[in-house]
Structure 1
């Protein structure tokens, strides 16, 4: 009886060892093996290099040209225009306080040095101090004073009488204005005679001078003062009066 019970117990133990194990489940997965598989995939994806989704920029396909970004300007063109370049001041060597900016190039020639001996540099202390002393400066000033000439005023030269009547003096002393009748004229003085005779003079001044030399203004031998104002061929004394302050 006891041996039967022992055999039954041994069979029960063997049956329990051979039965399938319960399925282990993970969160969101049907079984634990699927969870492990997905975790391995995620770790592999994270450890591999990430690929950029941004397409590479297009480059200029012209031979010898600088890379051209989309919608941009080649860097060579910007450099030729002086854009994007930082110029370092360079000492010229002649003056410690002077610097030059842009370097000389075929399109940017260096400035020409002005060396005009006709321009005085006496206002520059450095320039004068390098070649003058107190003694030399005193000698130079004395030589300048000795070379100075003073011109004394002289009397105004007399106007020669051969030049004819003085129309300036006549204009200043005229008692009337242009167009105002002051002298009587002959009825023979007409517009046709006036225009014909006045056409022979180069200017109204010349006509007035000849008019005075022929007895004017009292007489009008050529009919060049038909209105009797004393002024021939439209001559006007007003500018001379204004100049004299009258």
Structure 2
């Protein structure tokens, strides 16, 4: 019992030595006197608490940008594009000018061309283009070697009739269906005409691929070859 009385007396002595919390610090949410002193020191401006940095509304401090390396990136972009400031997202803000863009031609812009060209310079340019124009004389058709099949170019130039003009008799029972099926087996009209001639054409048509009897199988047309020869003869005559 005596032991408990001594412990109680010691506790009362310690409580008497502790500094009491002023009335101004009571009931404002502080758990102890230390928290109260820190808040009071900050309020009186004695530097006990660090002051918050002053930042303008809506802006990021330049020191924060520099520490993140953003300022250097902005300088690099400005050097590359020639732009010295950012672009505001505003409907009234004009679009930025394109600088040093050599990939866009202004040949279709009359004002731009008229500013640097004249009738004389345009005539000089046309003259230079005409001097560079070259006419290649057509040569003879190369001779085929080996088993290349009939020469369809020679046949086109020597055939006595035009495409669609009946020249040879045909079996009336050949039929359009047979004509379409057999012509579908060839990769091109030239191939069909070459095979047609190798099988006895134009007099004979064992596969029924020349039902109209003009001597041209599967719609093959000799006119392109004939036109090329006429053009060559006309150039030679000039």
Tell me the TM-score normalized by structure 2. Answer: 0.39
Between Structure 1 and Structure 2, the one with more helix by share is 2
Give the number of the structure with larger relative contact order, counting CA–CA contacts within 8 Å between residues 6 or more apart: 2
Tell me the TM-score normalized by structure 1. Answer: 0.38
Between structure 1 and structure 2, the one with the greater Rg is 1
